[in-house]
Amino acid sequence: MEHLAIHLPHEAKLGGPVQFRWMYPFERYMYHLKKKAKNKAKIEGSIVEQYVNEEISDFSSYYFEAHIQTKSRNEPRNDDGGVAYDYSFPDIPEIFVQGGRGSGKTKDVWLDSKDYNHAHSYVLLNCGYLQRFERLFEEDMKKTYLFTNAPQLYELKELHFTSWLQKHIQLDTNRSVYPIWLHELVQGPATKVTTWPMFFSRGYNFHTFEHGKDRKTFNYGVCVKGASSCDPNEEPEFYGIVTQILELYYPGIVGLRVVLFRCNWYDSTMGKGIRRNKSGIIDVNCASRYGKYDPFILASQADQVCFVSYPRLSKKKGDWYAAIRIQPRGKIISSEEVDLSPLQYENDYTLVEADPFIIVDDLADQLGQFVTLENVVDEELDSDSGDKSNDSDTTEDDSN
């Protein structure tokens, strides 16, 4: 036992935290498997059969329609309600109908002029319906400011696009052809916004930093692709933490609503704020901050990450943390095109007629060997005739 204190630090250095290599998860799973043993004579086979049935039923339930109730389908832990914003007007842009559910104590706050302009500008620049107006704005800016490059044009768009769009819609002679929601959108949101400490969206459970900093779980890390990202397989360009969850409201008949995340971003410069280690994991320098003030993103754009520190021998913590992508609960992530049409409908009474004239010549036994039906029939007839002869012999002996 005196050598235990010598070997334990070495084992901890090699294996890392003990919760990643202890046997408790396997023991709990063995308890789950033992409950499946119904036939004490064939324990292994009973466990395998029950396990296969459970896997098939759980996997198949993913492809049923949402309203079909199954025995193993419970309400998801991070359920967002499945209900998006409902408007009585058609053709509302997609960013205003994203599903989600706020949770926790609500609080009303007022935006200052700086945050108000940034939030409103970000919503306009991420609305797909307004892309044609962005092209008109770029042409107008190129005529006004000669020799304008792409970064300068993007800065002009962030500063002046909101006011330019409002004037363009109001002064356009064909303003009557624009939908009602667009007239309300260009007027800007209300300065009073609603905030939550938690928000459920797309299988994620997002927390603000103040709400989750003292918890064991890490739910306030986010990552998002930048404006230049076009490939969905690319790595995110920005990593940060959520500091506020707020809902913008555009007053009017339509009443558009959209949920935004206010975030503190880390430096996105490769090699300075972000690096890729030898294992392919993205590391983030949490001591280096993003220099530009661009705090807002749409809740539908955010993916959840967890910043995990590396094991160290000294108490001093390093600045580099591993950014681990979190998989949403109840979702199947696949890079290939998958047919997600349900395999079973609630009111499906389709009858499939079987062909009664199908001729089957061969069967396969339990060992995977093919058996000819004619041989099986002959063997059964021989065995039946043999049994009858044996029965006749026994009756004669009894009579004698």
Q: Which of 325, 342, 373 is the last residue of a domain?
A: 325
- 52, 112: one domain: no
φ/ψ of 207, rounded to 5, equals -120, 155
At residue 75, the pLDDT reads 63
Residues 37 and 147 in one domain: no
Task: Please give the single-letter amino acid code of residue 177.
Answer: V
Is 105 in the same domain as 54? no
Contacts of residue 65, Cβ cutoff 8 Å, sequence gap at least 6: 342, 344, 345, 346
The answer to whether residue 125 sits within a structural domain is yes
157 and 269 share one domain: yes
Across 104-167, the runs of DSSP E, i.e. the strands, are 107-110
- Rounded to 5°, angle at Cα 272 from 328 and 276: 50
Distance CA 369, CA 260 (A): 63
Alpha-helical regions (H) of 190-316: 209-212
282-339 tens-digit pLDDT = 888 888 888 888 899 999 888 999 988 887 766 666 788 888 888 887 666 655 555 5
Output the CA–CA distances (angstroms, integers) from residue 322 to 240, 242, 283, 286, 374, in the order listed: 13, 17, 4, 10, 66
Do 114 and 10 lie in one domain? The reply is: no
pLDDT at 368: 47
* Domain residue limits at 39: 4-61
Q: Are residues 140 and 40 in the same domain?
A: no
Say yes or no: 201 and 295 in one domain: yes
Whole-angstrom CA distances from 338 to 51, 63, 205 are: 25, 11, 26
Do 191 and 317 contact (CB within 8 A), yes or no?
no
DSSP string, 57-76: HHHHHTTS-TT---SS-PPP
Q: Split the chain (400 residues) into runs of 10 and give each run's mean pLDDT.
A: 77 80 90 87 89 87 75 64 70 84 90 91 89 87 79 83 87 76 90 92 89 88 70 68 93 90 90 84 87 88 88 73 82 56 53 53 48 51 54 50
Is 49 found in the same domain as 101? no
Rounded Cα–Cα distance for residues 231 and 219 (Å): 26
| The pLDDT of residue 74 | 65
Question: What is the SS3 assignment for 233?
Answer: coil
As a whole number of Å, the CA-based R_g of the chain is: 33
Among residues 325, 341, 367, the one where a domain terminates is: 325
What's the pLDDT score for residue 366?
46
Which residues have CB under 8 Å from 8's CB, separation 6+? none
Least Cα distance to 326 among 233, 217, 225 occurs for 217
Are 330 and 78 in contact, with CB atoms under 8 Å apart?
yes
Reported as a single tens digit per residue, the pLDDT across 150-174 is: 778 888 888 888 888 888 888 876 7
Q: Which residues are within 8 A (CB) of 50 and not within 5 positions of it... i.e. 6 or more apart?
A: 36, 38
Q: What pLDDT sits at residue 139?
A: 86
Question: Measured between alpha carbons, how far is 30 from 32 in angstroms, rounded to an integer?
Answer: 5
Total tally of structural domains belonging to the chain: 2
Residue 32 tokens read as 């789950």
In a domain, 117, yes or no: yes
Q: Is residue 342 part of a domain?
A: no
Distances (CA, A) of 383 to 363, 376, 389, 397: 20, 10, 10, 21
Task: With respect to residue 12, please indicate whether it lies within any of the assigned structural domains.
Answer: yes
Which of 310, 182, 159, 346 has its CA nearest to residue 256? 182
Is 98 found in the same domain as 29? no
Q: Please indicate, yes or no, whether residues 19 and 143 belong to a single structural domain of this protein.
A: no
- Which of 288, 242, 286, 246 is CA-nearest to residue 263? 242
Residues forming beta bridges with residue 321, ordered by sequence position: 284, 309
pLDDT at 208: 92
334 within a domain of the structure (yes/no): no
Domain membership flag for residue 11: yes
Structure tokens at 314: 């000294």
pLDDT value, residue 246: 93
43 & 155 share domain: no
pTM for this structure?
Answer: 0.64
The answer to whether position 77 is within a domain reads no
Contact call for residues 212 and 245 (beta carbons, < 8 A): no
Whole-number pLDDT of residue 39: 85
Q: Are residues 135 and 273 in the same domain?
A: yes
Q: Choose the final residue of a domain: 266, 300, 325.
A: 325
Is residue 71 one of the residues assigned to a domain? Answer: no
